[in-house]
Amino acid sequence: MAKLIYTATTSLDGYVKDASDSFDWAVPSEEVHAYINDLERPVGTYLYGRRLYETMRAWEKIGAEPGQAPVMYDYANIWTSAEKVVYSSTLDAASTARTRIERSFDPDAVRALKRQSATDLSIGGATLARTAIAAGLVDEFRQFIRPVVVGGGTRFLPDGVHLDLQLLQERRFEDGTVFVRYAAR
């Protein structure tokens, strides 16, 4: 059975976006980006909420833009090769290849997708991930912790959920980013 993985870059105080809805402070160094690419390479399907999808769809064009760093082209290829499921009640159609729109998040449908998939799935967007976490669907949590405190915004993990986790991996990077990977027990 495939795993559902929740990955995000966060501030030290646990936010994926700050109070002004910015995540400019989360831009990875080339070293971190290359590591992210290696982690994302086995993912076959991305599950997104509308807002994160609208941010991520830029990767469809980045792969065709000249002058990008090799890690950018690499990630663009990883992203465009994967299937995407976007949960949105407002989008009429997908604007990227290999993408389908679902009107609502159905935990049973995601369980079935995990059973049927030959590759791991990734869930992105704190709001959508909150729903999947509450439903007990997330198998692994991957967090890139940036050396910045933003003081508020959108939290990586939801309030009111208790999880027992097992540390699987940790790594420090030259720019001060720390990666931790946990499995849900």
pLDDT cut 70: percent of the chain above it: 100
162 three-state secondary structure: coil
pLDDT given for residue 64 in this prediction: 79
Q: Does pLDDT of 73 surpass 90?
A: yes
Buried b (16+ CB within 10 A) or exposed e, 148-165: bebeebbebbeeeeeeee
Q: Does pLDDT of 6 surpass 80?
A: yes
Mean pLDDT for 126-145 is 97
| Count of residues in the chain | 185
Q: How confident is the model at residue 63 (pLDDT cuts 50, 70, 90)?
A: confident
- Residue of 149, 148, 147, 144 lying closest to 181 (CA atoms): 144
Q: What is the CATH number of domain 4-184?
A: 3.40.430.10
* Residue extents of the structural domains in the chain: 4-184
CA–CA separation, 67 vs 40, rounded Å? 23
Q: Are strands 43-49 and 4-10 parallel, antiparallel or unpaired?
A: unpaired
pLDDT tens for each residue of 11-61: 999 999 999 999 999 999 999 999 999 999 999 999 999 999 999 999 999
Mean pLDDT for 169-176 is 98
pTM, full prediction: 0.96
